[in-house]
Amino acid sequence: MALREINVDGIIGPSHNYAGLSFGNLASTKNAGQVSQPRAAALQGIDKMRANLALGLAQGIFLPNARPNRSWLAELGTDYEHADAPLAAAAMSASSMWAANAATVSPGPDTTDGRCHLTAANLRTMPHRSHEWPGTLAQLKIAFADPAHFRVHGPVPPAFGDEGAANHMRLTSKHGERGLELFVYGVTGGAFPARQHLQASKAIARLHGLDPASTLFVEQSEEAIAAGAFHNDVVAVANENVLFAHELAFADRAGLVGFCESRLPGFELVEVPAAEVPIGDAITSYLFNAQLVTPPDGEMTLIVPTEARETPTVWSWIERHIAGNGPIRRVEVVDVRQSMANGGGPACLRLRVVADPATVDPRFIVDDAKLDRLAEVIRRTWPIEIDNADLQKPSLATDVEAARTALLEALDLTELA
């Protein structure tokens, strides 16, 4: 098989809004109550995918989940029009667009049965995200249905919080070869919750059939969580043999580095010192919530949001690294401001799946022509703006549901309705 890394991006849904539901996510809290622009947000995401295709990367999609989530509200004994405002906002959340939280993925070379394993995240820490997994699992089961190449697992029990690939990294000499899998968990973060539980990570490693000798459970530093690194991918990202991380990302930096150096020939740590980029700058700019990728030309590329270029300490560090002899050879800047304002950068918007694209349901794989069709649907049906004061208007719910239906029809995925 021709194993490649597929970046599977979440399409930003028509209910994209700024309700400020994610405690510990500084951007989400800061922009609570602002007027959102769902159409612009989704088109920014489409443009990011176009940029990935231009680099020669394989590109997939996940669709927005049904919103408002009427069945979830029914389980709570209410409906969208009569629910308390915070509950209605949680039911309308478009946060499934952050596909890095959809699942944890272990490619076939790492697993005992040689299949790519995917475990849907339970996201139980935040109410507005806790009801995502049924819709996400339904998509995973369709997109990765081929039993010869994939095994899809439901979420681990909600007693243990799991936030998916945002707290998981993989290191390898090449994507299609056997690698090391790093599961990052939190214990405490001052005033903010630690969202990834160690037991959830251990359960996923067992379910995926990973070799314990090639698996490490890494504690995120309390300082990073307290500074607003609600997921590990806000302070670290890995690609092939490179771990790109902030100096303050991990509780036991030396243990992590020693493990990687002893098991992966050619391992490289690209560490950003706090003296050069304060952790606050790293978090607000989402320097590490970037896509670190290897295009076909072999030039390892860092895909950062525009906010990274606008943060002097961050951009100076990037320029110095690119000018030097480090492993990251190119930087690309993408505009995902609408997602950033809600606390998700380029890395949040994508799930990395190492597989042969030919084994994935083709409806979930895109090229430029398919992106053109999706953009046309978005321009025609997505709301231009959503004011939080209008979140419970029946007309908004109707518009959001009709927009998603149009997208499902355009992709011939009406079984997800």
Q: Would you state the structure tokens that stand for residue 224, as one six-digit string?
A: 């990073």
d(CA 123, CA 214): 26
* H or E element at residue 41: helix 38-54
CB 262 within 8 A of CB 207: no
CB 60 within 8 A of CB 4: no
Q: Would you state the structure tokens that stand for residue 360, as one six-digit string?
A: 């994935």
Which burial class, exposed, middle or buried, applies to 273 when counting CB atoms under 10 A from its CB (0-12, 13-18, 19+)?
exposed
Q: How many other CB atoms sit within 10 Å of the CB of residue 261?
A: 13
CB 230 within 8 A of CB 194: no
**Residue 132: CA atoms inside 13 Å, Cβ hemisphere, count?**
33
Active site residue 348: yes
**Residue 287: CA atoms inside 13 Å, Cβ hemisphere, count?**
31
* Selected catalytic residue, list 5, 131, 132, 163: 163
DSSP 318-385: HHHHHHTT-S--EEEEE--HHHHTTT--TTTTEEEEEE-GGGS-GGGB--HHHHHHHHHHHHHHS-S-
Altogether, the residues listed in the chain come to a count of: 417
Hey, which residues does 293 pair with through a beta bridge? 301
d(CA 245, CA 331): 16
Distance, C-alpha 160 to centroid of its chain: 19
Which of 115, 92, 193 has its CA nearest to residue 399? 92
Active site residue 231: yes
Which letter, b or e, does each residue of 147-180 get, where b requires 16 or more Cβ atoms within 10 Å of its Cβ?
eebbbbbebbeeebbbbbbbbbbbbbeebbeebb
* Selected catalytic residue, list 16, 128, 175, 231: 231
- Residues forming the active site: 163, 231, 348
